[in-house]
Amino acid sequence: MNQTKSHRLVVFDTETTGMNDTGGPIYEGHRVIEIGCVEVIDRKLTGNTFHVYINPQQLIDEEAIQVHGITDEFVADKPLFREIAHDFVEFIRGAELVAHNANFDISFLDHEFGLMSRALTQAMPKCADICTITDSLLVARRGEYNKREIQLAGNKPLPSRKNLDSLSDYYGVDRSSRTYHGALLDAELLADVFLKMTGGQNKLNLKHKGSSDGVDVRPIDTNRPPLKVVMATGQELEAHQQRLDLVEKKGGQCRWRN
């Protein structure tokens, strides 16, 4: 019996003690304090999540607290990264890991794995060794040239900025509860945005007015008039053949040529 392997996404986000401003690696001198992951299987949210706060063993920058609201006092009694690392690795293992501006989050996590390697004197894997990585920011930038996505969004022009707030507004994802940035909340927002950004409509509402259980489908009226079929004109057919000639001339292949 043929079985199709399910495609598993883990959409995630992190919060940190701050960002490096010395021109070096973005994780230099800073640590991860929150990880939030949302599981998606075959383009459906499963409700399965991974969420932890982490004691970074150092102070959190005031500028960072203004962004995510996580204080030194709050994380003082939270587990260390090495204490949650195994569960995190098992959650993401073999998945397609999706993050917005993924280089930021992945660099921080790989840095944490590197610190563990030195402390335990054994090599810890990097994220790319555990799963594949997709940067939804790059996907959003490529979408600027995807006319289908523009049509699915009601022909609205794509936002010039591709941050999560702008994309949430563009795709109609509710972010009214987002007072602060939070890893799990941002992962949930990104999961909704990413599904719409990569596949258009991802839910089919089959309910109709008067349905009691939400599963009824309105039947098609079999007595309706026949659909009108509009045939191509001779001029249109000729223009089509000329286009196919041009495609072949430039090295393409026309599998649909008459």
Which residues are part of the catalytic machinery? 181
Helices 81-92 & 102-120, crossing angle to 10 degrees?
120
Give the dihedral of Cα atoms 86, 89, 94, 96; nearest 10 deg: 160
Kindly report the CA angle at 102 between 100 and 106, in degrees rounded to 5? 140
Q: Which residues pair with 39 in a beta bridge?
A: 10
Max Cα distance, the chain (Å): 77
The amino acid at residue 149 is: E
Task: Please list, in sequence order, all residues whose beta carbon lies within 8 angstroms of the beta carbon of residue 4, skipping any fewer than 6 positions away.
Answer: none
Place of tokens 């195994």: 86
Cα separation, 13 vs 98, whole angstroms: 9
Number of alpha helices (DSSP H) and beta strands (DSSP E) in the chain:
10, 5
